[in-house]
Amino acid sequence: MHIEIKLLTGLKQYLPDPDATGTLRHMEIAEPATVKHVLDKLSIPPDTPKVIMINDRQGALEDEVSPGDRVTLFPPVGGG
């Protein structure tokens, strides 16, 4: 199935083509799939993303991903 993946800031290094412009990529993944499957395919450790969004709604590792979904992952944010 075809999905969109958006990796922000420090997670961009895990994109299939991290040197390309932007943070959004299209990718193919076998069905059925969860967010955890997406992370595995991109070699992202499961404890790395601190916020998971699926189509602009809060998600979790065990949530299923459907064709056309956009999965957005946020890394830990520093600051005070």
- Mean pLDDT of the residues in the chain: 92
Residue 22 has what pLDDT?
A: 85
Q: What is the Cα–Cα distance from 39 to 46, expressed in whole angstroms?
A: 7
* pLDDT tens readout for residues 19-56: 888 889 999 999 999 999 999 999 999 999 999 999 99
Q: How confident is the model at residue 1 (pLDDT cuts 50, 70, 90)?
A: very high
